[in-house]
């Protein structure tokens, strides 16, 4: 699965203001709920927060991969957010996070979940991609940095 297959242009948000993990996850949930009309924002937020309680999805180098499984979801969807200033996210390297690449997957497509996370992690290890994401000043620039 390619990132362009799960990330829509209207699911990127550049340089948001958010001083906490919860606030960033609220932004992600807001974006997702606008795209997924059958699932409300509170359900999405709860899904992401429950996963974070099991352990931070901050993978280091200023990156977090929040994710969760949702019933009534028909297809995998990605949401990409960058924060204006890095936030404490309890990442594995204890560094603050400013790049958030979230995915939501249907509960019945759990096997795709791990493969998708792996593809995203690989994409984000590309220093040029990460540099372009952090340099983006518009949602469109952020989208292009991720899918190209």
Instruction: Point out the residues that are catalytic.
Output: 67
Assess contact for 59 and 69: CB atoms under 8 A: no
| H runs (alpha helix) in 7-126 | 21-35, 41-54, 110-124
Give residue 83's region: left, alpha or beta (phi > 0; psi -120 to 50).
Answer: beta
Q: Report residue 91: phi and psi, to 5°.
A: -65, 160
């Amino acid at each position: 699965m390619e990132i362009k297959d799960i990330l829509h242009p209207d699911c990127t948000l550049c340089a948001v203001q958010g001083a906490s993990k919860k606030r960033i996850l609220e932004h992600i949930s807001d974006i997702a709920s606008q795209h997924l009309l059958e699932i409300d924002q509170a359900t999405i937020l709860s899904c992401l927060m429950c996963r974070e309680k099991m352990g931070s999805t901050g993978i280091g180098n200023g990156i977090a991969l929040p994710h969760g499984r949702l019933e009534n979801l028909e297809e995998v969807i990605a949401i990409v957010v960058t924060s204006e200033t890095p936030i404490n996210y309890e990442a594995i390297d204890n560094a603050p996070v400013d790049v958030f690449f979230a995915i939501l997957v249907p509960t019945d497509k759990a096997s795709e979940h791990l493969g998708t996370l792996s593809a995203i992690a690989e994409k984000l290890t590309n220093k040029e991609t990460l540099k372009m994401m952090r340099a983006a000043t518009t949602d469109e620039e952020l989208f292009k940095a991720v899918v190209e």
